[in-house]
A = this chain, B = another copy of it.
Amino acid sequence: MLKERVDELAAIVGSENISAEPLQLEVYSRDPTVIRGTADVVVWPRSVEAVSKIMNFANKTKIPVYPRGAGSSLCGGPVPTRRGIVLSLERMNRILEVDVDNLQFLAEAGVSIREINDRLRPHGLFIPPDPASEVACTIGGCVANNAGGIHAVKYGTFRDWVLGLEVVLPTGEIVSTGTKTRKSVSGYDLTGLITGSEGTLAVITKIRAKMTTLPESQMVTTVYFDSPEDAGRASFSIMIKGLNPSAMELLDETTMGTISRYLTMRLPQAGAMLIIEFDGHRDDVDKKIAAAEVICREEGAVEIKTPATEKESLELWNARKTAFQSLAVLGKTSILIEDVTVPISRIPEMLRRIHEIAQRHGILVPTFGHVGDGNLHPHVLYDEENKEEYEKAMAATDDIFRTAVELGGTISGEHGIGVLKRKYFALEHSQLETEVMKRIKKLFDPNNILNPHKIFPEEE
């Protein structure tokens, strides 16, 4: 980008809110995936007016803009693949209002989920969706990607919690959408359209979202099975019987092994485990734990361990949270994390087929995930330097996506499409459905300057 362009941007945001330092550009040109881009400049606007001016400038000069929260996307979502401006929302990080009386808050896009929940907790309130990255990930990024997490099985995703947005359109126009009420049918649901659009339709600057009362109690049990299929069947039965767990996580044998080594923690020898959590009134929780255990035994549980103390429960959740990092003990340089999601009755078959795919290609695909809502995270492991292994990993990934769609599933339950899954988009969506979406993209962003070349299959 020309120096005078950078100067124009500096005049908008102030020289302390812009950088073209190589190290900064390097950091802001990636996310945790293998996708790499090239940022020309990073800006940290501090107001919606500044964001509007940046979009105006970009729209006139046709320079791409890549909005970015914490950069913890798992699909290359915010990566500046075609050069241009990285627009970081990190400095728009104020919680503007906590309206306890109406169970809602208003926050700028750059506030982390952790910070919001820290602020709500003293009121006995919280916003439930909690991506694994909740300590860092921003509410703007979460809404842009309609993020989920372990509690989505009971509480839904961010889409279920957003009431309204302040956004800046690619043309620089500032629009407020949505409502402060618990329900409304007044015009088109622009809030919902922009939620989950991965920063391709508008830059989200403020979010009004619902919050709810913290549950009186939470209780966890762990159940061990001979095989992931058995665990999958048990989780399906728990869901179908309406027990409504607040979390239900599956870990396969490989992942249990890596966690054991990584945390030097002793997990029983088994083919798979479920971590099942219920929340609510204490009596109700106790009853549900008991009912879930009965179901698990019917489905072939070989061992059930209920943590005796809250400390033990926390250790378990900590173990689940380190599942990803623990895969490092397998010594592979690279990981493709998928988030295929299938209708809940197909979970046992999906697990079986992931195992088959891994065996057929002779690679490791440790799998864990939010099995209660049909969402699995197969982790395809490979060494970047080993070309043959890389090819196998790609082929296995292909097979996993095809299988998920064949079973009536989606290629992304909670991470989004970004760059990584663009080539699989047509597996799930008809040409006409895709065309309608692209028409909407063009309507919002006629010059294709806002997070361009994401989501939809490449045409070039």
Contacts and interface: CB of A to CB of B under 8 A. Distances in A.
Interface string A321-345: 0000000000000000000011111
Interface stretch (A18-26, A235-243, A264-272): A235-243
Contact of A443 (B156, B177, B196, B439): B439
A156 B242 CA distance: 18
Contact of A436 (B100, B101, B190, B374): B190
Contacts of A236: 101
Contacts of A239: 103
Contact of A440 (B153, B188, B432): B188
A145 B187 CA distance: 10
A197 interface: yes
B412 A186 contact: yes
A187 B429 contact: yes
Given A281-B287, A284-B284, A183 B102 contact: no
Interface string A188-228: 11101101111001000000000011000000000000000
A388 interface: no
A193 B187 contact: no
B281 A433 contact: no
A190 B287 contact: no
A70 to B, nearest CB: 17
Contacts of A439: 443
Interface residues of A, number: 88
Interface string A301-315: 000000000000000
Given A101-B344, A433-B176, A409 B440 contact: no
Contact of A343 (B102, B173, B342, B436): B102
A50 to B, nearest CB: 18
A145 B145 CA distance: 26
A341 B193 contact: no
Nearest to A441: B188
A175 interface: yes
A226 B3 CA distance: 71
B413 A185 contact: yes
A159 interface: yes
Interface stretch (A6-14, A378-386, A414-422): A414-422
A101 B195 contact: no
A121 to B, nearest CB: 14
A102 B341 CA distance: 13
B181 A413 contact: yes
Contact of A425 (B180, B183, B186, B241): B186
Interface in A273-325: 280-281, 283-284, 287
11 contacts: A102-B345, A157-B183, A175-B436, A179-B410, A181-B341, A183-B373, A183-B375, A183-B414, A189-B192, A190-B436, A440-B440
Given A180-B343, A182-B341, 8 more contacts: A159-B189, A177-B433, A182-B374, A185-B415, A186-B416, A187-B429, A283-B283, A443-B443
